[in-house]
Structure 1
């Protein structure tokens, strides 16, 4: 279960065997069944979660009870309500499993201790946060300036596996479109 996390870490920073063994002690393993919650709106987010297997989504429910997906977390991705996790405020996001999933969880206290005991992990997380900010900026620009078709094509270009792993309804929610719009775009692309 740790192999994917270690590979992810080693892509960004150098970590030795002694540090790897210590690092493992800061995490707990968790399995989620399909549609099982990791976090519900209003709760305090107690963990950063690394997805070792499966797919999770974070989302809000709008005033009509419709899911508005914020993020998909595939194998090798992190997911959390970061504001809730860092500031111990009530979560605004719901996080649940799209399919059976295996996670590595780190608590806030363990996160702080990990970065103190293995300083290179502070750099690792900083690199993650920088990447996340860039991705969010790009997503905001795409959301505000691209047409429905351009949004879909950009998503498929960046994450080609997404159309095989996720339903039209999930993709539509993530892009802020209707499932019917996604179907029309896909039909147009296949005919074009």
Structure 2
């Protein structure tokens, strides 16, 4: 599965054989079964995780036991808890596998070394961070300004690969609506298509 990561990097930058050797030496492969945790609430996150295969979700659980999905991650996406990583504090989130998954993790110390030693890698990391910030701002904007139906349509247009891979109740949680509301929205959209 390191090859999946190498292919991802090769599409984004030019690296020497020496760079590849250094990167490969710090990569750890983790296989997760469906429902298995990559991170549990209360643990300190110490890695950078790249999804080679599968689908993960990051979520919190409130005092009433209700799950709130913050993020989904599929192949060629990154997962983790940046707040816990940067501040070395217990995570407020769980990250688990929605389906059998393979994740490549790099310890934070090794990741920082890669950023220092390989300028192209550091540039990629900065681009990813900027895109992540933009995606977070877009998510906040859609959450506070769109109707439930508009949120769902935005989700399936923005993440078409997720719509059929993620259970409906998790999509509802991500959108901040109930599963019943999502069912009504899908039913109404189906009726509109038939008319």
Contact 1:26 1:114 in 2 (8 A): no
Contact 1:13 1:123 in 2 (8 A): no
List per-residue Cα deviations over 1:83-123 (Å, max 9, x = no partner). Answer: 11122111111111111110100111111111122221111
1:13 Cα shift? 2.7
Contact 2:48 2:78 in 1 (8 A): yes
- The equivalent of 1:91 in structure 2 is 91
- The equivalent of 1:65 in structure 2 is 65
Quote the Cα distance in structure 2 between the aligned partners of 1:74 and 1:162.
8
Q: Which runs of 5+ in 2 are unaligned?
A: none
Contact 1:52 1:103 in 2 (8 A): yes
1:131 Cα shift? 0.3
- The equivalent of 1:111 in structure 2 is 111
- The equivalent of 2:138 in structure 1 is 138
List per-residue Cα deviations over 1:56-75 (Å, max 9, x = no partner). Answer: 10011011111100000101
- The equivalent of 1:172 in structure 2 is 172
Q: Which runs of 5+ in 1 are unaligned?
A: none
Tell me the TM-score normalized by structure 2: 0.94
List per-residue Cα deviations over 1:122-143 (Å, max 9, x = no partner). Answer: 1111111000000000000000
1:160 Cα shift? 1.2
Instruction: State the SS of the aligned residue for 2:57.
Output: strand
Q: How many residues align?
A: 192
Contact 2:2 2:27 in 1 (8 A): no
Quote the Cα distance in structure 2 between the aligned partners of 1:119 and 1:25.
18
1:12 Cα shift? 3.0
- The equivalent of 1:182 in structure 2 is 182
- The equivalent of 2:163 in structure 1 is 163
